[in-house]
Structure 1
Amino acid sequence: MPRAAAIIRAGGLVAFPTETVYGLGANAFDAPAVARIFEAKGRPTFDPLIVHIADRADLIHLFTEAALADPRIKLLADAFWPGALTIVAAARHEVPGLVRAGLETVGVRLPRHETALALIRAAGTPIAAPSANRFGRLSPTTADHVLEQLDGRIDAVLLGDATEIGVESSVIALDADGPARLLRHGGIPLEELARVLADHGGIVAAAPTAQPGVPLQAPGMTESHYAPIVPLILAATEFPAGVTACALLAPDRATLTHLEGLAVAAGATVHASVALSEALDPVTAAAHLFERLHELEAALIHRAVPAARIIAAPYPEGGLGSAIADRLRRAAATPQ
């Protein structure tokens, strides 16, 4: 840990585990270091970063005094921090513009993972950290996933177990007037956020994407995101026409069996198949979503199957399932 913290203080990049996915961190107040994140990931500068802190007292360095007067910050922090919630509010001018993508706001999260917290404390600074992957590709839930995409591009990786939650944090914006807005589905379901905010203006879901080239309000809002190299197609009721070789992903065992039947009836060769859980279980499914997609991608690439596709059954909405459904929709939106 001392070596990783020294790298952060010196302007370097360190990948580290959190309870959601692995993050790629730099000193949040070191603009050149933050620029290295964008370079390593191939990330467009209109996509803001989330700043990770180890103590709620650090908010005074990131949010304006007016933003901190909003009682919803304490309400949400009491309910969900440390944990998988990012709060977006008005930023202090000291927060580099690159972190904010030029916006007047910044997203902040206090993670629950002990390794992440130890790194932030040892570095002595809030750490800006998106997911530790190439932009738009599958999120990393293991150190091996990080190295597959970023080896040679970053300075260090802190080793840890596979991430617990498996999908990114939920992102909620607190505007000066009006209800809170959910900018990204994630590890805290919308229903839980709505319960906490019911007596404080409630919460609405924001538009899922932004216009091309316009700064995003939060990470993960591009139409195409979280995508494997092998094209992914969502198949709700019918097997996609023209697909002759594939790997299959389904929410549960029963749905996978049905999807396998559709593939066989269509004459497609199934090279690999997996259910996210035996019975429908969003917690287990979220924890394994990106891991299973990495496995299916690797299986098809290893076999060098021409024109292969990953065929996925949509995940039911509601609770944590909404975050899973969101990731699959965005993965499927990548141009074929």
Structure 2
Amino acid sequence: MTKDGATQAQPADRAEIVDAIATPEAALQRAVAVLAEGLPVAIPTETVYGLAADATRAEAIARIYEVKGRPRFNPLISHVSDMEMAAEHGVFDPLSRALAEAFWPGPLTLILPRSAGSTVHDLATAGLPSLGLRMPDGVARQVIAAFGRPLAAPSANRSGGVSPTRAAHVAADLGERIALILDGGPSMVGLESTIVKVEGDRLRLLRPGGLDAAQIEAVAGRPLLRSSTAGATIEAPGMLASHYAPDAALRLDARDVAAGEALIRFGGAALPGEDTARLVLDLSPSGDLREAAANLFAFLKQADASGAPRIAIGPVPSTGLGEAIRDRLERAAAPRS
């Protein structure tokens, strides 16, 4: 026990998993106790599972970077429970506020100037004058509200690897490095948040994600501008060229399958040679991009675990959520340092 009666966090080699659906109050209390010690907690969000820690404490944020092996020039998103908390840390222009009101809670991150009174630590923003803010839905939002401060929370996996969409994924990757995992079931969206930034009259897409760009454009009344991130300043998570990568090599837009490859396809259409594949998975046999997004990371992990030396990825449309799916696949297939 600590002096305030909270339970001391368990050693990192015995990660505790608490069912946040069956025992929500116990899960919240346990999470708040561990977060108060400056330790990270794996929490479920509608996008992917996040590795959350107090965004206002340097040592807590440092532990996120250490657990993940994440480069410290790569900023973290700060997650809030309501607009009042968001306004304490970010300066909202009219368009950013309209987008927040339309899509929060949900899979949208806004890059905003930091407010003068923000207590989010420089480590979370990688020293940038801006910060990323998101209001997640479900268990994560409840944890933030109970804790009372923003939580920095990148995906709960080792840096550069495949993002987790189930508590079991977190346990397999980080179970020996953290004290607590809240199990909220499978992530509903399955892709990280869409990240946008307002620049005067321009609205720029920094990372496609779980919110369709067309929905953002409909609210904004203007196009969402894309630009190459090659050699660009890292302004937000997910901008590194190589990211989300399994151990096996990826071959994109495959039209056939080589013997021994694992295959991940889309739309129910068989590919020549797939009878010789080690494993065949279909992101969505019916061609539903939402279903495909929700399955993407889990299927990459399953294909990687098959032992295949290479994973063939069948063609995926680039429209709607397909833009974000292809973004993740292209970064996963990029040359690795």
**What's the TM-score, normalizing by structure 1?**
0.87
CA distance in structure 2 between the partners assigned to 1:321 and 1:142 by the alignment: 22
Q: Which runs of 5+ in 1 are unaligned?
A: none
Which of 89, 92, 95 does residue 115 from structure 2 map onto? 92
Q: Deviations over 1:233-252 (max 9, x none)?
A: 1134466xxx6521000112
Matching residue of 1:74 = 97
Letter in 1 for 2:225: V
* Equivalent residues of 2:109, 2:134 under 8 A apart: yes
SS in 1 for 2:133: strand
Which of 233, 246, 264 does residue 251 from structure 2 map onto? 233
Which of 113, 127, 131 does residue 106 from structure 1 map onto? 131
Letter in 1 for 2:71: P
Matching residue of 2:149 = 125
Q: Does 1:277 align with 2:284?
A: yes
* Equivalent residues of 1:250, 1:313 under 8 A apart: yes
CA distance in structure 1 between the partners assigned to 2:266 and 2:244 by the alignment: 17
Question: How many aligned positions are there?
Answer: 308
CA distance in structure 1 between the partners assigned to 2:224 and 2:78 by the alignment: 22
Match runs of 1:252-291 below 5 Å? 252-254=267-269, 257-258=270-271, 261-262=272-273, 269-291=276-298
CA distance in structure 2 between the partners assigned to 1:111 and 1:206 by the alignment: 26
Matching residue of 1:183 = 206
SS in 2 for 1:165: coil
Match runs of 1:209-248 below 5 Å? 209-211=230-232, 216-237=234-255, 244-248=259-263
Query: How big is the shift at 1:97?
Result: 1.4
Matching residue of 1:294 = 301
Give the fraction of aligned pairs with identical amino acids, expressed as a percent.
Answer: 41
Q: Deviations over 1:259-282 (max 9, x none)?
A: xx1456xxxx41101110112110
SS in 2 for 1:152: coil
Letter in 1 for 2:74: D
Q: Which runs of 5+ in 2 are unaligned?
A: 1-27
* Equivalent residues of 1:40, 1:154 under 8 A apart: yes
CA distance in structure 2 between the partners assigned to 1:288 and 1:236 by the alignment: 19
CA distance in structure 1 between the partners assigned to 2:123 and 2:315 by the alignment: 35
Query: How big is the shift at 1:334?
Result: 3.7
CA distance in structure 2 between the partners assigned to 1:172 and 1:204 by the alignment: 9
